[in-house]
């Protein structure tokens, strides 16, 4: 996975080969701490043409995974490109090390894109992570694109429940540091956990998630990526395999 030279990739999408993926658990944790210092928690996104969504589905019985990246036009939020890669996860499931398991396949899918997203929403954590490097932050460093973590559950930190109305949110804090927001995206439905991934500030991350919602709990880029990873959306071309 990602062993090719950068010249082999579609240059529409920039991919920085910042490290390989062969690490022990301790080495991976130390790398997370190091890379977290390179994450930008500032920035805004203005007038994006394309917004991407990322998700992955794991078949535990077969030991394989399907990674999907869906690019939507904005503001219509209709899919314009769907790329899917199937393969073996890079590491066994270890809490807090999700990116080492899933990111290599996701990056393979991103490498096939012909329409580079101006903003990427990831089903997972950004800096709302014990070592401040969830999968959205990790992918942001590899792709150098504004990235937002949009998770369905909390990995760390403390928070209060937001009001039941759309747009209500509370801060997610860990040891006195604000690391994200608990956002209600649909009336009376469980909130989602939003955090900066890379090159975007927390308030902008919340605002863009809300702009990408169309009546569902998940914002459209992540919702479409979830459908694609589950085999419910056809890819733009034949499914690639790196098994």
Q: Specify the pairing of strand 64-73 against strand 119-122.
A: unpaired
In a domain, residue 203? The reply is yes
Q: Compute the CA torsion angle 102, 227, 213, 196 (nearest 10 deg).
A: 0
In a domain, residue 71? The reply is yes
In a domain, residue 2? The reply is no
State pTM to two decimals: 0.92
Q: How far is CA 151 from CA 21, 71, 191, 238, in A?
A: 23, 19, 9, 29
In a domain, residue 69? The reply is yes
| pLDDT given at position 90 | 84
| pLDDT given at position 60 | 85
In a domain, residue 11? The reply is no
In a domain, residue 152? The reply is yes
Q: Specify the pairing of strand 192-198 against strand 119-122.
A: unpaired
Contact indicator for 170, 159 with CB cutoff of 8 Å? yes
Those residues with Cβ within 8 angstroms of residue 160's Cβ, 6 or more apart along the chain or in another chain: 170, 182
Residues making up the chain, counted from first to last: 243
In a domain, residue 114? The reply is yes
| pLDDT given at position 132 | 98
| pLDDT given at position 3 | 32
Per-residue pLDDT of the chain (243 residues; tens, 9 = 90+): 333 333 334 447 889 999 999 999 999 999 999 999 999 999 999 999 999 999 999 998 888 999 999 999 999 999 999 999 999 998 889 999 999 999 999 999 999 999 999 999 999 999 999 999 999 999 999 999 999 999 999 999 999 999 999 999 999 999 999 999 999 999 999 999 999 999 999 999 999 999 999 999 999 999 999 999 999 998 875 344 443
Contact indicator for 233, 227 with CB cutoff of 8 Å? yes
In a domain, residue 30? The reply is yes
Domain count, the chain: 1
Rounded Cα distance, 47 and 117, in Å: 12
| pLDDT given at position 239 | 43
| 199, burial (CB in 10 Å: exposed 0-12, middle 13-18, buried 19+) | buried
CATH number for the domain that contains residue 185 = 3.30.2170.10
- CA nearest to 118, candidates 155, 168, 80: 80
Domain encompassing residue 141: 23-241
| pLDDT given at position 219 | 98
């Amino acid at each position: 996975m990602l062993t090719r030279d950068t010249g082999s990739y579609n240059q529409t999408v920039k991919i920085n080969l910042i490290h390989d993926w062969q690490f022990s658990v301790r080495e991976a944790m130390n790398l997370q701490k190091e890379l977290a210092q390179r994450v930008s928690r500032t920035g805004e996104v203005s007038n994006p043409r394309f917004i991407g969504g990322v998700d992955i589905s794991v078949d535990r019985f077969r030991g394989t995974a399907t990674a999907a990246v869906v690019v939507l036009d904005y503001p219509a939020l209709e899919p314009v490109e769907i790329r899917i890669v199937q393969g073996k996860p890079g590491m066994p499931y270890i809490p807090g090390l999700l990116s080492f398991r899933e990111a290599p396949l996701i990056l393979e899918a991103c490498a096939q894109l012909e329409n580079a997203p101006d903003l990427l929403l990831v089903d997972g954590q950004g800096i709302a992570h014990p070592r401040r490097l969830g999968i959205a932050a990790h992918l942001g460093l590899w792709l150098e694109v504004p990235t937002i973590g949009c998770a369905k559950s909390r990995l760390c930190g403390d928070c209060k429940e937001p009001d039941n109305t759309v747009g209500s949110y509370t801060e997610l804090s860990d040891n006195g540091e604000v690391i994200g927001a608990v956002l209600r995206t649909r009336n009376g439905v469980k909130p989602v956990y939003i955090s900066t991934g890379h090159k975007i500030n927390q308030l902008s991350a919340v605002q863009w998630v809300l702009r990408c919602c169309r009546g569902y709990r998940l914002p459209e880029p992540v919702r479409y990526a979830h459908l694609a990873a589950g085999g419910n959306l056809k890819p733009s071309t034949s499914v690639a395999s790196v098994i």
